[in-house]
Amino acid sequence: MDYYGIGFSNIRLPNDSKSYIYKYNSNVNTFPEEVFLHEFLHSLERNAKEYGYERPELHDYEKYGYKNERLIGQKTWYTDYMNKNIKVQSEKIGLPEEIYTLKPAKNSNFKYSYQMEEEFKQPENIIEEIKEIIDNLIKKLKGQKN
C-alpha cells in the first residue's frame, strides 16, 4: 500500500493466455473483485487514520474472529469493516461513516498522479477488441520465431 511514503496501490493484471482475471476459479481466486476491494479499503483506512478516526487495521481480521473462507475469501470481514459492524464487547467498530464523503486528507496524495499510458487503454467497442486480439496474436507469433 505504501511505496516510499507516496501511499498508493498498484494492481497489475496480466494480459496473456494464462490470464484468469475475468474467470472464476475457486482453486485460483475466491471472489475476483476481492483484490480491488482490499486495495480500495486500504485507501479508506489510510484516509481515516490521517483524519484521526479510530478504526481496526484492515489486516487484523483474525484478531476480531474473522477468517479467510474458501469460496468468499474475506467478504464477511470486508462487509462488517465497511459498515462499522465488527462486534467488540458492547460496541461496534469499523470504518467511520464519514470517511466515504471525505477526500484524502493530504494534498500530497495528488502530487504523483499521471495519465495512464495508451497501452493500458481498454477496448471500447467490438472493432477495438478484435484489433487487440489480432495485435496480441502477432506479438505472440513474433515471440515464438525468436
131 shares its domain with 96: no
- Please indicate, yes or no, whether residues 95 and 51 belong to a single structural domain of this protein: yes
Residues 24, 37, single domain; the answer is yes
**Do residues 76 and 5 share a domain?**
yes
| pLDDT tens track for 26-84 | 565 555 677 778 888 988 998 899 899 999 999 999 999 999 887 788 889 999 999 99
Q: Which domain holds residue 134?
A: 119-146
Question: pLDDT category, 5, cuts 50, 70, 90?
Answer: low
Give the pLDDT score at 1.
46
145 in the same domain as 76: no
Enter the C-alpha cell of residue 86.
Answer: 465488527
Residues 25 and 68 in one domain: yes
d(Cα 142, Cα 146) in Å, to the nearest integer?
7
Is there a single domain that holds both residue 94 and residue 130? no
C-alpha–C-alpha distance, residues 105 and 109, integer Å: 8
Domain check: are 27 and 85 in the same one? yes
Q: Are residues 79 and 125 in the same domain?
A: no
Tens digit of each residue's pLDDT (9 = 90 or more) over 131-146 = 888 988 888 888 766 5
pLDDT for the residue 36: 78
Main-chain phi, psi angles of 88, to 5 degrees: -135, 110
Query: 29-61 burial by CB neighbour count: b if 16+ within 10 A, else e?
Result: ebeeebbebbeebbbbbbbbeeeeeebbebeeb
- Are 13 and 74 within one domain? yes
One domain for residues 2 and 60: yes
User: For the chain, how many structural domains are there in total?
Assistant: 2
